[in-house]
Structure 1
Amino acid sequence: MVRIRRILRDYSDAGSVNALLAIWGFVDDDVFLTKAGHVGVVYRMRGVDYEGLTHPQRQVLTHRVQAALRLLDEHCRLYQYFLKERIEHIVPASRGRGVAREAIDQRAAHLNGRRDLYDHTIYFVLVYEPPAAGSNRTGLRRYRMWHRGFLTNAAISFLETEIDRAVSALHDKAHALEIQLSDFGPVRLRKTDIFGFLRHVVNLNRDAASAAPLKYDTHLDYFVPDLAIECHRDHLLIGDQIVKVLSMKEPPARTFAHVLGDLHAIPEEFVACLEWQRIPNDRMRREIRTRRRHFFNKRVSLVNYVAPETKPEEMLVDESATATVNQLGDALTELEVNGHFFGFCSLTFVLHGTNWRALQHASAEAIKALATHDGSLFDESYNLLNAWLSTVPGNGAHNLRRLALLETNAADLSFVFALDKGERVSPYLGEDALSIFETPHHAPYAFNLHVQDVGHTLVLGATGSGKSFLLNFIVTHAQKYEPLTVILDLGHSYRKLADLLHGRYLEVGLRQHDVSINPFALDPTPEHLHFLHALLRVLLEGNEAYRLSEVEDRETYEAIENLYALDADQRRLFTLANLLPRALGGRLHKWVDGGRYASLFDNVEDTFNVERIQVFDFESMRSYPALLEPLLFYVLHRVTARVNDPAEARRLKLCVVDEAWRFIQHPTLRAYVQEGLKTWRKHNGAMILSTQTIDDFASADLLRTVVESCPTKLLLANPALDRRQYAELFQLNEMELGSEKLLDLHEHARRQRAPRRALQPVRLRGGPGAPRRVCVSGGVGTCLCTGSLVLVRSDS
């Protein structure tokens, strides 16, 4: 016979989750209160990007953490959380049109289909535990009356005074902590965000954490947990999440800054919690001396004293006890002489997922990450529930695995180093980032061209390193902003892209029929007259050592002015040559009617125009650098006029120059480009320059201008890279320079069992941190391919 009592026994025997949580409510907008009367605040930490930081630089940052720990006394408990979770579904807000929209959607679908992309977040929780009230007889009587339900006005006033005093002390500690940790970007959370953080830590599920908003400021222990907890021998079951808990059994034998850097490689979601509470020096001193005395007496066994004739040299001495005494003496020296202090420290990993085998593998990886530094983690079983509860702020009573560590070691274990995530919304454009890249740590990185309000970019890389792919990728994804896009190409790398984006592709050559150029069709404004004078100097001087004299220069300018006095159909280069003195006009014979290059500039009509997406291909002019230079000079002027057009001041303008810099030799053209790099920023313009090596820049002044004006530098694979030259030019330290070891495309494809251009390792510097390695994959049709790539970005 089935009885109702038997059916309900399991439910009645089960405890409530809220009874296990110490968190109770909010005192004000950013301070929470526990059932024991403790108060705390929560910070979200930006962290410092550690890639590219040298060990001394990392050590300087950990010294800031040591200084922060020094501010906390034995009444403060500091929790540090490192949360690794799968990224949220990416939904691009601005998508552009046509193929660009398809490319952006495919990229988002590719990233959303990856189950191994994770987001990393760091939180700090500071809990202040005021000295226990009620130690005297009057306070004890008041607390007993409170628990019995007889809350008198005096008791209420007493409790309010104690809480106000605790909150005031907490604010003082928190303010000092914020100052010391300012390098790591602490942001104090409001109660709505604190509630979401607590639900995430307890429920271990992003959807469950965001399912219920904060409605009440009290009884958080009831509203934070949403899922039932099942305790098994080797794991917990929280909702549908299998949970394994690992606790630090032994700390690393020797610590250094960012010793837990391998945590990013754990291939599963987890919550890592580092807890620290200072031990009073007098208490620690007594403990060390007691242990020293014990091990000193243990050195020689009592049996050695049974026989009175036993000599000291004949006694058996326990060398391990002697070593322990010496180590305890070193600890006492650190405490008494060096001014360091000890604290109770614990490190707990809460790994969770739905795949048991994957969770077992992640557990092994976590154990290996600490074992690499001679530390050890214990896979909890009997203490499983207590270990998990100890990761919730305020549940310090459940923490049974705390070790005494120096604050220097605790600072090395701290979670203050992070991976730069980029900015999902471009601060300058106010729209989505250009694209999302993937890092080797399986984390997304939001890439933006602009650093503050400067979008100039330099791309360097050997032939076949992926420059054309990268520029195709950037141009395609930049169409979400609907910019004016101008591409100067050598090699037909953008023909397919122009067709897909419905842009205009113009192949510039001697026998071009699609367009005719007449420079003198421009209006005679001072700017245009100055440009025409500079263009004439380029045509007259050429690549020879000849330079116009002052008189010839004045005659050239006057001839241009006189040309505009003629009818419009007479304004052409042939007419100008006749207006110049015979010697000067003779130098233009190859550019005018009857000359070899007359079809370039000596035309009656001018049909040249810059479309919204315009590609100029100079491949047919590759063998004629003397012709390519004036053509580029003219094209850049027309592009600059479009960039400076007040009617399009709000539109983004992109000018991509691919492999054209090898032909820029004329000082006038260099000065023109330098001016563009300095002034385009004011007109919302960005120039992307691509070439093989920095030696392609003919002038040291031009190279310095490019390096200074392009805050984003993209360094692609180059086996012949002069590492010392690049380190000096781009201010790379030995860590950054030593990490510039790029994968060979064929070897990488062989390892990945994929086509040669299947993945793209990338390095870039986003923000004040170090370079970032990412991967780009996916694309549109056949216009996008990949190659090995390194990006370095400076925000100085």
Structure 2
Amino acid sequence: MLALKHFRDKAAGVSDLLNWAALFEDGIVQCKDGSFLAGWYFQGPDIQSSTDGERDWLAGRVNAALSRLGAGWATWTEAIRTPAASYPPPELSHFPDPISRLVDEERRRQFMREGAHFESRYALLIQYTPPLRRKSKVADLIYDDDPTERQSPADRVLQAFQKAISDFEDAIGDAVRLERMRTYIVTDRHGRDHLRDELVNYLQFALTGEALELNIPPAGAYLDAVLGGRELWAGDTPKLGEQFIACVAIEGFPMESWPQILDALDHLAIPYRWSSRMIYLDQHEMLAELRQFRRKWKQQVRGFVSQIFRTQSGTINEDALLMTREAEAAIAKTSSGLFGAGYYTPVIVLMGADRAELLENGRLAVREVLREGFSARVETINTMEAWLGSLPGHAVPNVRRPLIHTDNLADLLPLASVWTGRDHCPCPYYPEGSPPLAHAATVGGTPFRLNLHQGDVGHTLVFGPTGAGKTTLLCTVAMQALRYAGMRIWSFDYKRGMLATSKAVGGQHYDIAGEHGGPSFCPLSVLESEADLAWAEDWIAACFELQTGRPPQPGERDAIHRAMLLLRQAGSERTMTHFVSQVQDETIRAALRYYTLEGALGRMLDAEHDSISFGRFMVFEMEDLLALKEQAAVPVLLYLFRRFEKSLDGTPSLLMLDEAWTMLGKPAFRDKIHGWLRLLRSKNCAVVMATQSLSDAIRSGIMDVLIESCPTKIFLPNEEAGVTGTPENPGPNDFYRALGLNETQVEIIRTATKKRHYYLVSPEGRRLFDLGLGPVALAFAGATSPDDIARVRDLERIHGRQWPFTWLNEKGVAYEALQ
């Protein structure tokens, strides 16, 4: 006869260790001990730029919400650090040339390199264990309710739980952004519907470290068997399935706490799950614990003999006296009702297939915790209990006995987050799902997804002193913007900073009024529509006013109009010389002769046709043009503006103005930018303006419009940012404060590293980031010196379109593997 006892092993399995029983309601799990469990994903504010007052407010709001919880309640506040490997796939980008594709491929490989980038998610789970049934029966005897309205105990507890978590969500919702873990339905490829739940998926992740979406069994049970179907080897370093488990216990707290005291853990470049469990007590339970604590220390203030004979001559134990006073202060604090208390157990759980690497990561976490003034250790014989206690819904294992108040708890929790930007471009005019403009990095290897757009507005201001990396930023933005299909870039450059970048990606770079002979234009060449005709007449009137100091009189306007009609009939002969020959007013002829071949500006404005081709990436060097007097510069600017405006057809466009406030010195330029900021949004065009002079920006006369119209601002490092001036001569700090920055933000700008860090401020968030440029990107975006520019021109003349690869070879950049 076959002995069956060999196959009836009674040893506990993983499912026997778990407290989860069934999915009871939408987003609510019932546990084996009768408790209910619910959860949220949450996102706290990015506190890097927050003042002390803002941090205190956040901690105070969270304390107010947590202090409402009492006996039977427990929370798990969790920060999950996972590798970030979400660089947009190549098919979502539309780079039109080999160099921009090469630069993006370099950035992709840097980003995707294993262990290079990590990002954090945050979860808050709450559990309520109802009182014992006998206590409920006593309450039923005390309160005389209508018997016909009585609910079943389970329904009554569930209803109370749902109301309590709704009230809790309202109380904490103004401090952090909450998203409830809910039930949802998916349809498989066979057309069958399956029930899934975000809370169950999270419990699966907390248990195994694997992000999976599970189908819920019929009737929602049995979750312990569904989630716990793994082999478990216990020991100092347990192994669940293929994953080893290590736990770091945080203990030995410092003498005082402050908001986000453990924020450094959010910057660790290792994967982990940091679980902060709090088991709450009612006020009378807290007071009983504290009084017992006070009694223990009070007995140690004086010696045994002094206590027996009640003398005051014995030696006083100062440490015991101090602890007694602290206990009395805690009792007073608890009695106020403004603070709750409970048992706090923080554990950092690490999981991985490589045991040696896992333990090394554990030691790294210990060192970081020690650096913050806490004690920490990698668990050994207590690992299993520490791991079980970290799982949401398991309030019994690994309870740390010392009490803490909820205001200290609010300081210890991972409430602050690192703002990483949107993972897609938010502009509604771009195709849905378009990738962000660029991927950068911030503290702790956390990725930062750079977007200039806030909704459909992409206007951006860039402020920074000379040599801080402003031109490199603009070049990088331009190259990365080419990822969007049909992108057109117009850049008004200053000192040829964008020459190498534009030529490398197949763009055109023109020196307007340059010493080597710049391009020439035919402003009256396009007269087909009535709008073209009206603009041409206004342009002639502007030229006339620049020469005479007065606008044309009505009769002179009529003469201009008649001459323009004749010029339109002339077909191809539409030069300034032809116009002057057609106009019948001698005053107009004399004023406009300056712009014909007979005058000084004829070389630029009296061509038979434009000598430039208007493509997808146009760069106009403005230094020499802006050095001219207004009679020469303004007509050229007005014509370039006209060509730019006519190129806007709804496809993505970018207008970049380097040293914008040098250009704003020209009234024509200033008035045009004023209008552009208000109108170009509807044309799907973003304006990026950069300057090194904050004072010029403030005094430009349109600073209020710039701040209102440009929701995104990027500040470059400035070691003088903290310098305060006088009312007559404001300093950099005064200008930064006028732009709405607080003292913390100004300090970030002051201490940031030049040519590496950039500080972005937008309505969605604030973050110091690093472009993380590789050798290929730097070879072009960083080629801004006069020697680099001269060499690029030489190589282009010798090698033609192949010059970028020769340039990379000269720089010693290995690029072959990226092609």
Both structures adopt the same fold (TM-score exceeding 0.5): yes
Q: Secondary structure at the match of 2:715?
A: strand
Q: Could you list the per-position Cα deviations for residues 95-138 of structure 1 after superposition, in whole angstroms to 9, with x for gaps in the alignment? A: 10343444333322221114131110100001121112256899
2:477 to 470, 474, 477: 474
Q: Which segment drifts farther, 477-486 or 623-632?
A: 623-632
Q: Write the distance in 2 (CA, Å) between the matches of 1:137 and 1:173.
A: 22
Q: Write the distance in 1 (CA, Å) between the matches of 2:357 and 2:761.
A: 32
* Residue of structure 2 in register with 1:45 after alignment: 42
Q: Secondary structure at the match of 2:457?
A: coil
Report if the CA contact (8 A) 1:573-1:601 is conserved: yes
Shift of 1:517: 2.2
Report if the CA contact (8 A) 2:385-2:398 is conserved: yes
* Residue of structure 1 in register with 2:641 after alignment: 636
Q: Secondary structure at the match of 1:399?
A: coil
Q: 1:339 to 1:476 in 2, by over 3 A?
A: closer
Q: 1:321 to 1:744 in 2, by over 3 A?
A: closer
Q: Write the distance in 2 (CA, Å) between the matches of 1:162 and 1:613.
A: 71
Q: Secondary structure at the match of 1:486?
A: strand
* Residue of structure 1 in register with 2:80 after alignment: 83
1:612 to 596, 616, 634: 616
* Residue of structure 2 in register with 1:196 after alignment: 201
2:234 to 227, 231, 236: 231
Q: Write the distance in 2 (CA, Å) between the matches of 1:538 and 1:698.
A: 28
* Residue of structure 1 in register with 2:291 after alignment: 289
Matched, 1:733 2:724: no
How many residues align? The count is: 736
Report if the CA contact (8 A) 2:712-2:763 is conserved: no
Q: Secondary structure at the match of 1:603?
A: coil
Q: 1:663 to 1:567 in 2, by over 3 A?
A: closer
Q: 1:160 to 1:267 in 2, by over 3 A?
A: farther
* Residue of structure 2 in register with 1:723 after alignment: 732
Shift of 1:248: 3.2
Q: Write the distance in 2 (CA, Å) between the matches of 1:315 and 1:510.
A: 94
* Residue of structure 1 in register with 2:407 after alignment: 408
Matched, 1:32 2:29: yes
* Residue of structure 2 in register with 1:59 after alignment: 56
Q: Secondary structure at the match of 1:385?
A: helix
Q: Could you list the per-position Cα deviations for residues 744-779 of structure 1 after superposition, in whole angstroms to 9, with x for gaps in the alignment? A: 56xxxxxxxxxxx8xx33322355433333342236
Matched, 1:676 2:676: yes
Q: Could you list the per-position Cα deviations for residues 271-326 of structure 1 after superposition, in whole angstroms to 9, with x for gaps in the alignment? A: 111112321111222232333334333333333478x7xx9353233333322221
Q: Secondary structure at the match of 2:765?
A: coil
Q: 1:374 to 1:564 in 2, by over 3 A?
A: closer
* Residue of structure 1 in register with 2:601 after alignment: 597
* Residue of structure 1 in register with 2:812 after alignment: none
Report if the CA contact (8 A) 1:629-1:663 is conserved: no
Report if the CA contact (8 A) 1:95-1:480 is conserved: yes
Q: Could you list the per-position Cα deviations for residues 34-88 of structure 1 after superposition, in whole angstroms to 9, with x for gaps in the alignment? A: 1111112110002211110011101111111112113323222111011111123
Q: Write the distance in 2 (CA, Å) between the matches of 1:622 and 1:362.
A: 58
Shift of 1:708: 2.3
Q: Write the distance in 2 (CA, Å) between the matches of 1:556 and 1:671.
A: 25
Unaligned runs of 5+ in 1: 140-158, 746-756, 789-796
Q: Write the distance in 2 (CA, Å) between the matches of 1:497 and 1:248.
A: 51
1:763 to 759, 762, 774: 759
Letter in 2 for 1:611: G
2:446 to 421, 443, 448: 443
* Residue of structure 1 in register with 2:667 after alignment: 667
Aligned alpha-carbon RMSD (Å): 3.4
Q: 1:128 to 1:631 in 2, by over 3 A?
A: same
Q: Secondary structure at the match of 1:273?
A: strand
Shift of 1:659: 3.4
* Residue of structure 1 in register with 2:130 after alignment: 130
Letter in 1 for 2:380: S
Q: Write the distance in 2 (CA, Å) between the matches of 1:616 and 1:533.
A: 25
Shift of 1:402: 4.0
Shift of 1:523: 2.6
Report if the CA contact (8 A) 1:37-1:163 is conserved: no
Shift of 1:398: 1.1
Report if the CA contact (8 A) 2:459-2:711 is conserved: yes
Report if the CA contact (8 A) 1:629-1:664 is conserved: no
* Residue of structure 2 in register with 1:247 after alignment: 249
Q: Could you list the per-position Cα deviations for residues 348-396 of structure 1 after superposition, in whole angstroms to 9, with x for gaps in the alignment? A: 1113345556545543443444445543234322221111001111111
Report if the CA contact (8 A) 2:64-2:339 is conserved: no
Q: Write the distance in 2 (CA, Å) between the matches of 1:305 and 1:136.
A: 45
* Residue of structure 2 in register with 1:328 after alignment: 327
Q: Write the distance in 1 (CA, Å) between the matches of 2:775 and 2:173.
A: 40
Report if the CA contact (8 A) 1:539-1:588 is conserved: yes
Q: Secondary structure at the match of 2:443?
A: coil
1:489 to 485, 489, 493: 493
Shift of 1:476: 1.8
* Residue of structure 1 in register with 2:815 after alignment: none
Q: Write the distance in 1 (CA, Å) between the matches of 2:444 and 2:557.
A: 61
* Residue of structure 1 in register with 2:393 after alignment: 394
Q: Write the distance in 1 (CA, Å) between the matches of 2:357 and 2:782.
A: 31
> After the TM superposition, which residues 73-222 of structure 1 pair with which residues of structure 2 at under 5 Å, given as runs?
73-92=70-89, 94-97=92-95, 98-99=97-98, 100-133=100-133, 161-183=152-174, 184-191=176-183, 192-204=197-209, 206=210, 209-210=211-212, 213-214=215-216, 217-222=220-225
Letter in 2 for 1:519: P
Q: 1:513 to 1:301 in 2, by over 3 A?
A: closer
Shift of 1:443: 0.7
1:453 to 446, 452, 456: 456
Q: Write the distance in 2 (CA, Å) between the matches of 1:269 and 1:744.
A: 28
Shift of 1:188: 0.5
Q: Which segment drifts farther, 58-67 or 101-110?
A: 101-110
Q: Secondary structure at the match of 2:759?
A: strand
* Residue of structure 2 in register with 1:147 after alignment: none
Q: Write the distance in 1 (CA, Å) between the matches of 2:782 and 2:10.
A: 60
Q: Secondary structure at the match of 1:412?
A: helix
Q: Secondary structure at the match of 1:42?
A: strand
Q: Write the distance in 1 (CA, Å) between the matches of 2:154 and 2:116.
A: 45
Q: Write the distance in 1 (CA, Å) between the matches of 2:567 and 2:758.
A: 57
Q: Write the distance in 1 (CA, Å) between the matches of 2:363 and 2:9.
A: 37
Letter in 2 for 1:617: E
Q: Secondary structure at the match of 2:701?
A: helix
Q: 1:301 to 1:637 in 2, by over 3 A?
A: same
* Residue of structure 2 in register with 1:517 after alignment: 521
Q: Write the distance in 2 (CA, Å) between the matches of 1:42 and 1:74.
A: 19
Q: Secondary structure at the match of 2:733?
A: helix
Q: Could you list the per-position Cα deviations for residues 714-770 of structure 1 after superposition, in whole angstroms to 9, with x for gaps in the alignment? A: 22234555431332232110011111135556xxxxxxxxxxx8xx33322355433
Q: Write the distance in 1 (CA, Å) between the matches of 2:783 and 2:51.
A: 28
Unaligned runs of 5+ in 2: 140-149, 184-196, 722-730, 785-819
Shift of 1:202: 0.8
Q: Secondary structure at the match of 1:520?
A: coil
Shift of 1:226: 5.0
Q: Secondary structure at the match of 2:247?
A: strand
* Residue of structure 2 in register with 1:549 after alignment: 550
Letter in 2 for 1:94: L
Report if the CA contact (8 A) 1:485-1:612 is conserved: yes
Shift of 1:611: 2.4
Report if the CA contact (8 A) 2:419-2:767 is conserved: no
Q: Write the distance in 1 (CA, Å) between the matches of 2:215 and 2:634.
A: 64
When the two structures are superposed, what TM-score results if normalisation uses the length of structure 2?
A: 0.82
